[in-house]
Amino acid sequence: MGARHPNVATVSLNLAGTYLAQNRRTAAVPHYERALGIFEQVLSPEHSYVTTTVDTLALLYREHGRATDLERLYQRSLVIAQGTLGMRHPRALALLHKLVGIYQVQGRFAAAEPLARQILATLEQELGPTHASTGLAVSRLAGIYQAQGRYREAELMYQRALRPDSLRRPSERGHADLIEPVLRHSGLRPASFTSCPICS
């Protein structure tokens, strides 16, 4: 069994979970990183092992103030997701959404704006301009404009988001399936991985 074998990733995750259970969070990080490096090579970016490991690592990076590592993690995951699944896939949109959030917290609104525009354009095409989820994306872009002092642009976007036809709830299950991963917030819930996701 080589160093990049999926079973190595499984053992690494179990060891990381053991460290978390003991509140040894710093010790857990390299094992999550090792597991993610393997999973990214052998699993789809939307596989639960990949998404859970990315989100857990992200929360650990936040806890330790590792902002640069957090940004790089999401950027790398985004490149993989877009290359494998396509730019319009829910996982790619979810990662864009997370990057926008990072940039907003850091006050990097010029970096956040093109990503927020990309999310909005995709939702407009996939769900339509009057879908409630599109309205949320409009409101977020308005907030970015406001933070940059671009008040007229922010006003117009907020007005658009408040239009009655922009407040409709999703009426088709397919719409909910598309947007749910974008707006879902992940918690730190380390799982026990008892079998190899490739070999089982």
- The whole-model pTM stands at 0.76
Residue pair 75/102 in contact (Cβ under 8 Å)? The answer is no
Q: How confident is the model at residue 130 (pLDDT cuts 50, 70, 90)?
A: confident
| CA distances (Å), origin 33, targets 36, 95, 111, 128 | 5, 18, 26, 38
Q: Residue 163's pLDDT is what? A: 81
pLDDT at residue 187 is higher than 90: no
pLDDT at residue 11 is higher than 50: yes
CATH superfamily of domain region 1-86: Tetratricopeptide repeat domain (1.25.40.10)
Give the number of C-alpha atoms closer than 13 A to the C-alpha of residue 199, restricted to the C-beta side: 11
Q: Residue 2's pLDDT is what? A: 61
Q: State how far the Cα of 140 lies from the Cα of 138, in Å rounded to an integer.
A: 5
185 or 181: which carries more pLDDT confidence?
181
Q: Residue 178's pLDDT is what? A: 43
Q: Compute the mean pLDDT over every residue in the chain, rounded to the nearest whole number.
A: 83
Residue pair 120/141 in contact (Cβ under 8 Å)? The answer is yes
Mean pLDDT of 29-51: 91
DSSP-derived 3-state class of residue 131: strand
List b or e across 162-176, with b for residues whose CB sees 16 or more CB atoms inside 10 angstroms.
eeeebeeebeeeebe
Q: State how far the Cα of 58 lies from the Cα of 139, in Å rounded to an integer.
A: 25
pLDDT at residue 115 is higher than 80: yes
Ramachandran bin of 105, using left for φ above 0, alpha for ψ from -120 to 50, beta for the remaining angles: alpha
- The token duo for 25 is 């969070």
Q: State how far the Cα of 138 lies from the Cα of 166, in Å rounded to an integer.
A: 9
Q: Residue 132's pLDDT is what? A: 86
* Sequence ranges of the domains in the chain: 1-86, 87-186
* Portion of the chain with pLDDT greater than 90, in percent: 60
Each residue's pLDDT tens digit, 55-107: 999 999 999 999 999 999 999 999 999 999 998 999 999 999 999 999 999 99
Task: DSSP letter for 184, please.
Answer: P
- The token duo for 123 is 């939702």
CATH number given to 87-186? 1.25.40.10
- The token duo for 99 is 């990057």
